[in-house]
Amino acid sequence: MNVGRELAIGVDIGGTNLKLGAVRPNGELLAHESVPLQKNPDGRADIRALSVHVDRFIQRLPHGCRIAGIGVSCPGLLDTRNRKILHAVNLKWENVALDSFVKPPGGVPVYLEYDALAGALGEKHYGAAQGLPNFLYVCIGTGIGASLFVNGEPYRAGLVSSLNLGHMSIAFDGLSCACGNKGCLEKYVSAPAMRMRLNGKNQSSGDGPDSDLLQLAAQAAASGDLQAAELFRDAGQKLAIGLVNCLQLFGATTVVIGGGVSQAGNLLLDPARDELAARYRYAVSPVGLVQARFPTLAGVMGAAATVFAEEKLI
């Protein structure tokens, strides 16, 4: 590993995992790790453990690395300017100051960004959305988050700069959701929802890793497993309904699908493309539906890109 050159630390706080990466301005990922997010007995994400992981990751970097800053990707409602997590349901955090647990060496700057927007930034600077001024990024994992770029800039409305696509209804009298709505997209197209359908359970099987789904996808692709293929076909079609609703509003010409579930690739995307074409005939131009380059690391890459952009290094 070359040392002595600038890098940014990308920290992605997810509902189940904490991911960290050391990234160069050109997108080279020098080191990364993923650890389970530790939670207190009351279910709150353990702030102290998180702080220890970040410190330890930085200390393990070779001596001489110049850290330009630390970028943190987080779910929930954020005050990014003042680096505060106002409300994060999955973490059970209320009014948590980022500065209380990310204390960088040498006083380097720290930036906070919405997880969906960080993912989009990762794809925009280093992945499938490079060079695209207008695109919709959709991250499908435990839930579904999205972010929209218009004329090269992320859509922002006040404090909010992510789209809550997972709680857009695609069925008038569909499955009940904790948010109060019915037929929310993520009740059908998310890792827990798809696992639940696979297992034939009435209750979600939780927020565990997506590896079981991915193994199934690989199995389906290799052996022509019709049941597995049907799971992804159905999810792809329902995903397309949600995307059409978005596209009717915003008219993006490219949709980048990321998150753990996107690793199913064309098992999910081909049915989505067919359904999208059938339901979105008045598109100004054909819509490209593409797989993210970083299905699980876009948040880390985007958090690092946030640092480089703010520090005028990219």
Give every strand in the sheet of 29-36, ordered side by side: 29-36, 17-23, 6-13, 66-74, 110-114
Only one of the segments 115-123, 142-150, 165-173, 276-284 lies at the binding site for Zn ion (rule: CB under 5 A); that segment is 165-173
**Region binding Zn ion by CB under 5 A among candidate stretches 170-178, 206-214, 240-248, 249-257:** 170-178
Residues in the chain: 314
Strands (E) across 129-188 are located at 135-140, 144-150, 153-154
In the complex, what is the shortest distance from the CB of residue 177 to Zn ion, in angstroms, rounded to a whole number?
3
Name the residue nearer to Zn ion (CB basis): 34 or 181: 181
Task: State the nearest-atom distance from the C-beta of 296 to Zn ion, in Å.
Answer: 24
CB of 32 to Zn ion, least distance (A): 32
Among 179, 229, 283, 314, binds Zn ion (CB under 5 A): 179
| Structure-token pair, residue 251 | 């008219």
* Nearest to Zn ion of 23, 168 (CB atom): 168
The verdict on 184 binding Zn ion (CB under 5 A) reads yes
Binder of Zn ion out of 181, 205, 245, 266 (CB under 5 A): 181
- Cα separation of the two ends of the chain: 21
As a whole number of angstroms, the distance between CA 186 and CA 161 comes to 19
Rounded Cα–Cα distance for residues 81 and 92 (Å): 21
Contacts for 14 with CB less than 8 Å, ≥ 6 apart:
37, 75, 115, 141, 142, 299
User: Which string of x and - marks every residue 10-49 that binds Zn ion (by CB under 5 A)?
Assistant: ----------------------------------------
* 171 contributes a contact to Zn ion by CB under 5 A: no
Size of the site for Zn ion (CB under 5 A): 5
* Sequence-distant (≥ 6) Cβ neighbours of residue 284 within 8 angstroms: 251, 253
CB of 144 to Zn ion, least distance (A): 10
Strand pairing partners for 140? 144
Candidates 24, 83, 84, 167: give the one binding Zn ion (CB under 5 A): 167
Residue 137 CB partners (closer than 8 Å, separation 6+): 116, 119, 120, 123, 124, 129, 146, 147, 148, 149, 255, 256, 258, 292
Stretch that binds Zn ion, among 171-179, 224-232, 240-248, 262-270 (CB under 5 A): 171-179
Binding site for Zn ion (CB under 5 A): 167, 177, 179, 181, 184
